[in-house]
Amino acid sequence: MIPLFNEEESVDALVRELGEVLDDLGEPAEIVVVDDGSTDRSFARLAALQAEEGRLRIVRLARNYGQTAALAAGIAHARGELLVTMDADRQNDPHDIPQLLAALGDDVDVVNGWRIDRKDGYLRRRLPSQLANRLISRVTGTRLHDYGCTLRVMRMPIAKELPLYGDLHRFIPALAAEMGARVVELPVNHRPRTAGQSKYGLGRVMRVVLDLVTVRFLSGFSTRPIQLFGLLGALFTIAGFGLVAWLGFERIVLRTPLGGRPIVLLALLLGIVGVQFVSIGLLGEILMRTYHESQEKPIFRVREIRDGRVAAVSDAVERLH
């Protein structure tokens, strides 16, 4: 599945190369390309390619929604049991797909690409990416070298359940791991861009940081917000009451005047903010309970069930026969 935006110079070679790789695999497959509101001739080129590549399926969005929405649209319209995602700029090598599929064993749900020898500028692309990868790995607990690599393979049940909105496509491995998926990383080839222009730059750094805060909250406190806001509220409240107690001691015992001292306002502010944080946590708990109960949405995901007692009975029956 390929999200695409204004890549008319790359689509022909991309689809043909993918077709050759799929021919070598010899397995039923489809090529889902999501046109994310391209303003060039990308869609026209794709439509023309369908005459020679029958496995090509085009999902055309009404406007440019962004890569996360395009990935979500592709996942919603894909029909296979396994999903391979990649970029449309031809920097990902389709010939890596067979080894990604081979690494998807019984105990692995997501295989993420790792562009070891990345063919991008250092200061503008590689350095910010390295810093972001370290930060994301540390905050989410899912340690990968290359969160920015779109080339990956996932089992479709995992892909269908990913909470994709905003710009969370950068955190797919971490989101999958939070769902209980087993994620591994595999070195892949990376090629220099030969056509078109990059859609990324340093301007996305702050968005990554803000999205990381969202992911951390979703992974750690989405079903128990009181533990986050309640803790913060308790800390602020304790600090506020501690200051009030000390100021009371100063006024009553030491006879120190309090008028005009900013610390008095700080003590009151800490107490008020603490109560507000606790209230936010309680409201979050109510909203989460309403959400899960109204949609009958489970708060867990079962990987498999093995009933030892049933297995033992079956073995006994076989021995009797």
| Average pLDDT of the segment spanning 81-85 | 96
pLDDT (tens digit per residue) in 245-301: 998 888 888 888 887 788 888 988 998 998 898 888 788 777 766 765 666 655 555
For residue 310, the model assigns a pLDDT of 46
Q: Does a structural domain hold residue 256?
A: yes
Q: Clarify whether residues 258 and 205 are in a common domain.
A: no
User: Are 154 and 210 part of one and the same domain?
Assistant: yes
CA distances from 198 to 90, 152, 234, 272, 317 (A): 11, 20, 47, 48, 64
Asked, for residue 117, whether it belongs to a domain, the answer is yes
Q: Tell me, yes or no, whether 121 and 13 share the same domain.
A: yes
Report yes or no: 225 and 281 within 8 Å, Cβ to Cβ.
yes
Does residue 308 lie within any of the structural domains? no
Residues 216 and 187 occupy one common structural domain? yes
Coil, strand, or helix at residue 77?
Answer: helix
Mean pLDDT in residue range 205-224: 70
My answer on whether 117 and 9 are in the same domain is: yes
- Same domain, residue pair 100 and 166: yes
Across the range 28-54, mean pLDDT stands at 93
With respect to residue 304, please indicate whether it lies within any of the assigned structural domains. no
**Residue 88 belongs to a domain:** yes
| pLDDT average, residue stretch 100-106 | 91
- Residue 50 above 50 pLDDT? yes
pTM above 0.95, yes or no: no
Residues 6+ apart with CB under 8 A from 26: none
* DSSP class of 283: H
Using alpha carbons only, give the angle 75, 184, 209 rounded to the nearest 5 degrees.
Answer: 70
Helices 226-252 and 205-221 pack at an angle, to 10 degrees, of 90
In a domain, 23, yes or no: yes
pLDDT of residue 96: 96
* Residue 307 located in a structural domain: no
Among 198, 221, 244, the domain boundary falls at 221
C-alpha 237/C-alpha 235 separation (Å) is: 5
216 shares a domain with 87 = yes
Q: What is the CATH number of the domain that holds 152?
A: 3.90.550.10
Last residue of a domain, one of 221, 255, 275: 221
- If asked whether residues 185 and 260 sit together in one domain, one would say no
Together in a domain, 247 and 279: yes
Q: Is 115 in the same domain as 237?
A: no
Range of the domain at 247: 226-295
CA distances from 171 to 133, 139, 155, 250, 261 (A): 10, 11, 16, 52, 47
pLDDT above 90: residue 6: yes
**Domain shared by 14 and 92, yes or no:** yes
How many domains is the chain partitioned into structurally? 2
In a domain, 318, yes or no: no
Q: Are residues 186 and 203 in the same domain?
A: yes
User: Mean pLDDT across the chain, nearest whole number?
Assistant: 84
What lies within 8 Å, CB to CB, of 94 at 6+ separation is 14, 17, 18, 20, 21, 86
